[in-house]
Structure 1
Amino acid sequence: MTRRNAQLRWRDIISIIVSLAIGISAFSLAGPRLMTELTGVEGNFRAEQCRWQKDYDGVRQRACVGSFTAADGSFTIRRIAAEDLFATDPTGPVASRVSGPSADEAVRPGLMSLAPLLGIGLIGFAFPLWALIAGTLDLLARRRAARPRPEEPHERPSDLPTAPGTARTNSGVRWIHSVPIAISIAAGIFMCHAAAPRLITQLTGVDGTFLAGRCAWGDFDSDGDRTMTCAGDFTASDGSFTLPGIKIDGVFDHRPDAPVAARVSGPSTDHAVQMDLVGSLAPMGLGLTAFAFPAWALTAAARDAADRRRRRRTTPPPTAGGNPDSWGPLPST
């Protein structure tokens, strides 16, 4: 009896969890900006202070802070940061949107900047969606096949003679696993890329203190709590330099009144880093964990290829396959 069998194994469950985590993370990053661009308050942003900052590609651009005025004149935000970076300092008003009068970032219209994050989110949900459909079809097939039927005799690959020492269970790596493998590699690179500079600064940076000058409350989390992000002045411990108006990584439960111990990578940096190794080691661990499945798949695929070469030299080619219409990532045999 042949049927379409999803046959989801533990490795597929791990892939589903990783894919869902990547999809949810991508949409959680893109969601607030997307909602602001679609439903936010229109207005104009005027830059008042700009500084150099590197984007994700390492290109130096201008990050600006200024004021925002609603198009209908209902409110004005005196101190607000522009979420986007500029090639040069904007000399006039820039059309932007904000989520409301208490927003701390102004967003320029344009959905193309969100395309990469939205694409990663959709790819992240692709494999779990396929697994859900495959599992549903498998359950329906099991219900239809409740009554046993006589099975047609045919030769199975497991019945073929094999040379001593060459028979082993196939790892089951198939082309469908390329989606979670690509997602895992992208997630690992992204997490390590985000955490490695922070960790290097914490281990080898210049010691000093950060004095908060401007703080803004963030949105409520799932527990109903709010945290704030701050910008201020950093002073090196030896007094060799001072960095005014830079941001500090991390969030605070309340506005810090006293100087906070921090480190920077050097006199030309645009942000300070709190001395919290756990906050850097956690994403590094997640990044290394994301590389685990691709590493296993590469090793298993290489072993399967070597095993097939040995089998071709020692056994005749099979005359019949397993279940050619399997829905799942693994063969039903």
Structure 2
Amino acid sequence: MISSTSLFAPVDSDLRLLTDNLKRLISARHPILGAAAEHLFEAGGKRIRPAIVLLVARATMLEQEITARHRRLAEITEMIHTASLVHDDVVDEAELRRNVPTVNNLFDNRIAVLAGDFLFAQSSWYLANLDNLQVVKLLSEVIRDFAEGEIIQSLSRFDTSLSLAAYLDKSYYKTASLIANSAKAAAVLSDAPSTMIESMYDYGRDLGLAFQVVDDILDFTSPTETLGKPAGSDLVSGNITAPALFALEEQPLLQALIEREFSQEGDLEQALALVQTSDGIERARELANCHARLALQHLDCLKPSAARDSLAELTSYVLSRLY
């Protein structure tokens, strides 16, 4: 399996600088908010989203050094991502993320919601200070998409009539929007040609969709220790993802179990077994593969460089998490 460390070699020193800066940027006036936010940045995330911003910056600048605005955009991207995770954990009543206690578990829901709000507000302030209206619009759209994704997910719990298109829309709002719009914003800050800017958006969108589908597969196939949260937690909460959606087409009993919200003893175990014995996981893998291949094609507009190679390898890395 490709490691994210070797993958991000072209921006390794940029990412080290980013981690130091993030802790400095979020030092809040109130120590508890600062502690909550710092806990998140210490929680061992792979920094995939800011790495993509920095790689797109390097791939579109080539001979020139990336700018302070590119670096700040990468920091804003990680802040927005982290804020969304905090709110996600509150909504999902999660106790663990990356095998580390969540902010709502460590402090309480009220502090967690405020910590998330604080990070969104901080990111918006730094975003405004980039003085680039197009970039402000792109990243503001992401924050709106996160909220929309959460609302759609909450309203469609245990809804077995969810279509694949609606699932992909929700996956775009919750995951792909940030990757797509921040990659596009990095190209905007590089003054790249408009066709290249759009290709970076398309790359981020398809990579983000592949990433989310893989995450949804891992929820059925990975043990809790690997996942950093209980396996099958999506289905328990009524969040019907690609493997279950495909399984529903061939397992009528699964529909009944979901619709009665696993209210009888053994319902959940039976539902998980039905997904495992169906073609659902295999078909979800094909869906992830399809989006990863599309993401790779969108890089054709970039000239050869180490950063472009890393962006290309990322499409394989996302899929390699399955094996």
Larger radius of gyration: 1
TM-score for the superposition, normalised by structure 2: 0.28
Higher strand share: 1
TM-score for the superposition, normalised by structure 1: 0.27
